[in-house]
Amino acid sequence: MRLFACFYLLLTAFPAWCGSLALTADRMLDVKSGEVITDAIVMIDGNIISQAGPATQIAIPEGTRTINLGDATLLPGLMDMHVHLTSDAALHGYKRLAVSLPRATITGVKHARATLNAGFTTVRNVGAPGFADVALKNAIRAGDISGPRMFVAGPSLGVTGGHCDNNLLPYDYHDSSEGVADGPWEIRKAVRRNIKYGADLIKFCATGGVLSKGTRVGAQQYTLEEMQALVEEAHLRGLTVATHAHGTSGIKQAIQAGVDSVEHASLLDDEAIAMALEKGTYLSMDIYVTEYILGEGAKAGILEESLAKERTVGKTQRENFRKAVEAGVKMVFGSDAGVYPHGNNAKQFARMVKFGMTPLQAIQAATINAATLLKQNATLGSIEDGKLADIIAVSGNPLSQVNTLENVLLVVKDGQVIKHPDKR
């Protein structure tokens, strides 16, 4: 269809439309080196970046569609490694029980659009019931709906009665989440099932959590033996593994088992930091969400016991974020959007800087580091010739004012202009 439209336009007035696009801005950030290129041009051919660099080295062919951004900075599309697109931040606890799977999936369509418009061109969806995340991903790929590139986990795996189970209803209902799997072989089978139905990665719960009923946030849930079976099975099939882990022993045993990323990582200690450094494990610490949980959570249905847990871990998590950054642990940007409203993902940047990162480090966490964790760094994560054209622009310079990332001017995904500065 697009080729046909392109051919048609070739015969008419706009030869440059067929895939060629030029972006110009006062600045462009090289996220690998941290260098800011002034007076920059990015040339896009179809969905690929064909050239990027200073205006002195690049000529824009006559007739090329050009977007001049002026006092703005071009950056690679942002990447959030911890979202739940099918979750509604206004519906927690018992309110969420009334939401059907089809309804949650439709909500996901709205959230996908909001996320992309906020400049997040790639997300990792770490837990969704009924493989609704696979459906969303496929609908976005097919061009049926607008949204970020998705890497999806399907249902999160966990123990009976654990954080990844649903513990809201009494025994009479015989209800448990589809990700429940106990013991190495049940877990291996659950990994195989998630792969069968379209998972790109495996997510599991190593410890209790804040928002689940009746779990102790610091208590380990899967045993080391179970985690080793899970990670071995996933890696055998070429998938990465993300683990939800707040508690210290759960974090350490998950790292020992070989997980690729630890989510939350609230109760890290020095030994856990040393282990993450040694193994090259990524941490994905959601240090903004605590403000939403404690501010808006009660209204949204978050249980009182969950609010009490958040009061105990939120502050510690931020202190430990600072320690992990100082130690040089690999970090990715993971927000847990879905617990708080989608589209507000970028609010976390200012907190990452407040708690120890430079603005460049925070941006790297959401670009090149995330692309590397996803094993997509050959095609995503930086503005370089030959990479996919996922590009955003923000006004001013995010290295001096990181919260400018909260208001993106331009979003280009796969060479398509999603958000244009003149049409905000």
CB 84, min distance to Zn ion, A: 6
How far is 317 from 291, CA to CA, in rounded Å?
A: 12
List the one residue out of 134, 57, 65, 72 whose CA is nearest residue 391.
Answer: 72
What is the nearest approach in angstroms of Zn ion to the Cβ of residue 355?
A: 19
CA–CA dist 20, 17 (Å, integer): 6
Candidate ranges 39-47, 117-125, 130-138, 334-342; the one touching Zn ion (CB under 5 A): 334-342
The CA distances from residue 128 to 134, 177, 346, in Å, are: 9, 11, 22
Nearest approach, Cβ of 209 to Zn ion (angstroms)? 8
- The 293-332 site mask, x for binding Zn ion (CB under 5 A), equals ----------------------------------------
Site string for Zn ion, 222-261 (x = CB under 5 A): ----------------------------------------
Q: Is 223 helix (H, G, I), strand (E, B) or coil?
A: coil
**How many other β-carbons are positioned within 10 Å of the β-carbon of residue 198?**
14
Give the span between the Cα atoms of 44 and 382, in whole angstroms. 14
Helix axis angle, 224-236 to 184-196, nearest 10°: 30
Q: How far is the CB of 228 from Zn ion (least distance, A)?
A: 23
Give first-to-last CA distance, the chain, whole Å.
Answer: 27
| Helix segments in 301-412, DSSP class H | 304-327, 347-354, 359-365, 368-373
Judged by CB under 5 A, the stretch of 30-38, 333-341, 346-354, 362-370 that binds Zn ion is 333-341
Cβ of residue 49: shortest distance to Zn ion, in angstroms? 32
Element (H, E) at 228: helix 224-236
Task: Please say which residue, 30 or 336, places its beta carbon nearer to Zn ion.
Answer: 336
Helix (H) or strand (E) holding 411: strand 408-413
- Considering only residues 381 to 410 of the shown chain, the ones binding Zn ion according to CB under 5 A are none
CB-nearest residue to Zn ion: 336
Instruction: Report, in Å, the least distance between residue 336 CB and Zn ion.
Output: 5
> Minimum distance between the CB of residue 99 and Zn ion, rounded to whole angstroms?
16
Q: Which residue has the tokens 């209204």?
A: 299
- Smaller CB distance to Zn ion: residue 20 or 320? 320
The span of 85-93, 189-197, 290-298, 335-343 binding Zn ion (CB under 5 A) equals 335-343
Q: Scanning residues 33 to 72, which ones bind Zn ion (CB under 5 A)?
A: none
Shortest Å distance, C-beta 340 to Zn ion: 11
Query: Out of 88, 336, 390, 406, which residue is the one contacting Zn ion (CB under 5 A)?
Result: 336
**Candidates 102-110, 199-207, 298-306, 336-344 — which segment interacts with Zn ion by CB under 5 A?**
336-344
Contact predicate 308/302, CB 8 Å: no
Find tokens 């123990």 and name the residue.
159
List of residues contacting Zn ion (CB under 5 A):
336
